[in-house]
Amino acid sequence: MAIPRRVSRLLLLTGAALLILLIVRLLPAHGGGYISSRVIPQRPRVFEGFDPVNPKQFHPATSIKPLPTGSPRKLPRVQAPDEAFKQTPETEKRRQAVRKTFERSFDAYRKYAWMQDEVTPVTGHGKDTFGGWAATLVDSLDTLWIMGFKNEFQQAAEAVSHLDWGHTDSTAINIFETTIRHLGGLLSAYDLSGERMLLDKALELGNMLYAGFDTPNRLPGFWLNFREAANGQLLAGTADPSASPASLCMEFTRLSQLTGDPKFYDATDRVTRFLERVQNDTLLPGMWPTVLDFQHEEAHDSQFTLGALADSLYEYLPKMHALLGGLDDTYERLFRIAMNTAEPHLIFRPMLPGGEDILFSGDYQATGATKLVPRSQHLTCFVGGMLGLGGKLFANETQVTIGEKLARGCGFAYAAFPTGVMPEIFTLMACERRDMCAWDEQAWAKHDDEKLPRGFVNAWDPRYLLRPEAIESIFILYRITGRTDLQDLAWQMFEAIMKSTTTQYANSAIADVRAEEEANKLDSMESFWTAETLKYFYLIFSPPNVISLDEYVLNTEAHPFKRPS
């Protein structure tokens, strides 16, 4: 029986309308009515034998440790009293400037890299660096919410809810990076917004990441290799960065708190117990080396730092104390011992012609003739904020003072270079004593380099990667002290970053902070630019109730988790 022409046309028009509606829903909206025409990449399935939704456990835990129970302890206040903060027209102007920068960066991602991991800020393309699961989008969810982009947040949350962890271009994923960026981003966005679909998506990802702990001793490796996971062949590493398995506890604990399933907390608590067992048996007793043997549960390496490879291991100790409401004193104990060791062995005052009373965190070589290596990193700039937070939580004002000197040291390093931005890794001349530190012109002459500020021995890695650690510590110390000159320092840093990194589309990492040529840009904008750096700049110019440090604790990717009340 033939279909009448009118009915046929109606069916055709209806089908076309539904197709257009589907296409519109799949494409991102842009401020001002723009809709991207980019084709979202289609990704292959992960190794066919691996089920990302319900991974098979070959070495299941014989027991599951529950979360600590009881009423949370009343912890000391972190932030200065509210009356210490004044929101002036100038600070509001600065805050809006940061917000506009974020909007421009996120719009570039939305236009040129939607559902990919990153946008290339010089050439305007998309690229995948973290499994192709829209790292910048997930990482930016809570920034969208905090900065008041509620419509954009809803669009982003809807897009994120359709991510499929079962499809990726990667044969293995970095457990640490996926945890802090993706799992942390989902959990904080849920904590802020209450959008249930974000918690559901976090639970999906948590179940997949839990497979990384399916090793004979239940400690994770650095990678979650899908083929090995499918065949029960995963092993903990023998020389893995100590920070990687040791910096999963905040995200896994928060997932257990929100879902009521203790298996995630139990998984990372096993790492904590390993750290506890070996803390005083290392070559620098009290601290953990940069790499650890998680497979044999040993710690024999001779390199120690608060920077790359080890950083967030230490950062998470006071933050876990706050996240658990002080109900497990392990984290306070480990932190006190570690910082009592780090402070005399790794933290130094630089020799400077102006005699500035500031500090930096260096490296320690346990088997070296000269054990302190006065080489610092942008990554170690987080230490000031960590000591400020830990000092307040554990009633140690000396640590708060040291933390402020470290934070100001990083601000000094920014201003010292021609771009107004500090390098990734650099070496300074160290004072023998902190209380007496006279400038030695002859000592400087041995290292004199006209491209370097006086007091700096080298810029071992002269890049600036849009990192957040310096502004992170300055923000935390501002909230702790209420000192407005820290806001001025932050604004000086922000203006310098904008001058050196702004591109046609967004902001780019630069190759050399010692020069200001246009060709200096590296065409890279990692997701932490919108997740961390701009968030901290925004928060330092915001009222104190916007992500209060007494209500939230931020993971190492600046994702705020609610503290128990």
Q: pLDDT tens, 16-43?
A: 444 444 444 444 443 333 345 566 677 8
Active-site annotation holds for 512? no
* C-alpha R_g of the chain: 24
Q: How many CA atoms lie within 13 A of 335 on its CB side?
A: 29
**Among 254, 204, 248, 187, which Cα is nearest to 222's?**
248
Q: Rounded distance, CA 77 to CA 96, Å?
A: 29
Active-site annotation holds for 424? yes
Looking up tokens 């009592």 gives: 340
Structure confidence at residue 23 (pLDDT):
41
**Among 116, 193, 190, which Cα is nearest to 151's?**
193
Residue list for the binding site for Ca(2+)? 556
Query: Which candidate in 177, 332, 461, 550 is catalytic?
Result: 177
Residue 74 burial class via C-beta count within 10 angstroms: exposed 0-12, middle 13-18, buried 19 and up: exposed
Q: Rounded distance, CA 328 to CA 305, Å?
A: 26
Number of structural domains (the chain) is 1
Structure confidence at residue 38 (pLDDT):
64
DSSP 41-86: PP-PBSPTT--SSSPPPSS--S--PPPP-SPPP-PPP-SPPGGG--
In the chain, which stretches have pLDDT less than 70? 1-40, 448, 518-519
196: number of Cβ within 10 Å: 10
The verdict on residue 266 lying in a domain is yes
Integer angstrom CA distances of residue 98 from 29, 104, 316, 483, 485: 22, 10, 27, 20, 18
Q: Rounded distance, CA 17 to CA 557, Å?
A: 42
The verdict on residue 214 lying in a domain is yes
Structure confidence at residue 257 (pLDDT):
98
The verdict on residue 271 lying in a domain is yes
Instruction: Tell me which residue range forms the domain holding 243.
Output: 171-301
Dig out the tokens for 259 from the structure: 């879902």
Q: Rounded distance, CA 472 to CA 470, Å?
A: 5
The verdict on residue 322 lying in a domain is no
Check: CB of residue 559 under 8 Å from CB of residue 209. Answer: no
The verdict on residue 438 lying in a domain is no
The verdict on residue 217 lying in a domain is yes
Q: Rounded distance, CA 103 to CA 159, Å?
A: 18
Structure confidence at residue 39 (pLDDT):
65
Structure confidence at residue 5 (pLDDT):
41
Query: Which candidate in 107, 469, 512, 557 is catalytic?
Result: 469
Active-site annotation holds for 177? yes
The verdict on residue 270 lying in a domain is yes
Looking up tokens 């994120």 gives: 160
Residue list for the binding site? 556
Task: State the sign of the Cα–Cα–Cα–Cα dihedral 520, 361, 561, 543.
Answer: negative
DSSP 379-408: GGGHHHHHHHHHHHHTT-HHHHHHHHHHHH
Check: CB of residue 560 under 8 Å from CB of residue 188. Answer: yes
pTM of the predicted protein model: 0.93
Structure confidence at residue 519 (pLDDT):
64
Structure confidence at residue 267 (pLDDT):
98
Interval 480-519: pLDDT, tens: 999 999 999 999 999 999 999 999 999 999 999 998 776 6
The verdict on residue 488 lying in a domain is no
Structure confidence at residue 16 (pLDDT):
47
3-state secondary structure 304-338: EECCCCCHHHHHHHHHHHHHCCCCCCHHHHHHHHH
Task: State the sign of the Cα–Cα–Cα–Cα dihedral 79, 82, 84, 86.
Answer: positive
